[in-house]
Amino acid sequence: MSEQSGNTGGAARTRLGVAKTYKLFVGGKFPRSESGRVYEVTDTRGNRLANAPLASRKDARDAVVAARKAFGGWSGATAYNRGQILYRIAEMLEGRREQFTAEVAAAEGLSKAKAAARVDAAIDRWVWYAGWSDKITQVAGGANPVAGPYFNLSTPEPTGVVAVLAPQESSLLGLVSVLAPVIVSGNTAVVVASERAPLPALSLAEVLATSDLPGGVVNVLSGRTAEIATPLAAHADVNAIDLTGADADLARELETAAADNLKRVLRPADATSDWSADPGVKRMLSFVETKTVWHPVGV
């Protein structure tokens, strides 16, 4: 009997698709929001796409705990190993290219061809940053000439836990462009996905989970940007925050909150909205700190 025939004279059956349940990504796992809340995500024409988790302040705190726990191992990994893992992310994303093309097309109102081009650019962006993993030290560090019989060496080190507010208008390429430079140098991240178009970010979490990236290095939250970002900006265990996805009013509020515990802040004005442009090294250097070591010559 054909799979499409029923038990009554071979009548055709209509198959019901399996609707996807989108979840948060915290500590390498996929929990629902602790509040149990969701919100409706629509395409650019207002058609319903799915429900996304509406993350709470508690979810944000849990994500920071996971990112801090993962920081020691990730920052202590070799640059070569981090580069391998970023390249692996590109490999896994390439294998799900069709899925992401459909999601980006729906999220951003693009044709299939334009959405595919943005997905390809996102994949290439992972590869580009993977290549920088063992080179950024040469750009940002070096031997300093000093008076006296000493070696004076400066090297960049990761800042720590970075909160990243993903761009609102670029659901995948923009997200990758702000996330990859944070983790390539050894930081861990708590990402607040685009409030309007979070589905590509939540699907990217599935790619991260299957790409050898240790749990907790990247944590992805969806929901109301202001609700999630406010506790992150004030959190004493968050070392830096990228305000790219905040509007001008929210960015001012978050910068004020971040100043209470002296966070590094990357302002929206510091970032370009042309995500297809050559990213350069500025974002990588925004979340590293220079450590200088003096060592006597001949010892």
Q: What average pLDDT does the chain have?
A: 91
Q: What pLDDT shows up at residue 18? A: 85
Residue 249, pLDDT > 50, answer yes
222 CB-side CA count, 13 A: 32
Least confident of 3-7, 89-93, 261-265: 3-7
Residue 253, pLDDT > 70, answer yes
Distance, CA of 283 to CA of 273 (rounded, Å): 13
Q: How does residue 229 score in pLDDT terms, banded at 50, 70 and 90?
A: very high
Return the number of other C-beta atoms located less than 10 Å from residue 292's C-beta: 10
Return the number of other C-beta atoms located less than 10 Å from residue 112's C-beta: 12
The pTM for the full model equals 0.89
CB 56 within 8 A of CB 227: yes
Residue 270, pLDDT > 60, answer no
The residues near 202 (Cβ < 8 Å, ≥ 6 apart) are 22, 23, 24, 25, 52, 53, 193, 220, 222
Least confident of 79-93, 98-112, 128-142, 162-176: 128-142
Q: What pLDDT shows up at residue 13? A: 82
What's the fold here for domain 49-296?
A: Aldehyde Dehydrogenase; Chain A, domain 1 (3.40.605)
Q: How does residue 11 score in pLDDT terms, banded at 50, 70 and 90?
A: low
Residue 37, pLDDT > 80, answer yes
Q: How does residue 5 score in pLDDT terms, banded at 50, 70 and 90?
A: very low
Q: How does residue 10 score in pLDDT terms, banded at 50, 70 and 90?
A: low
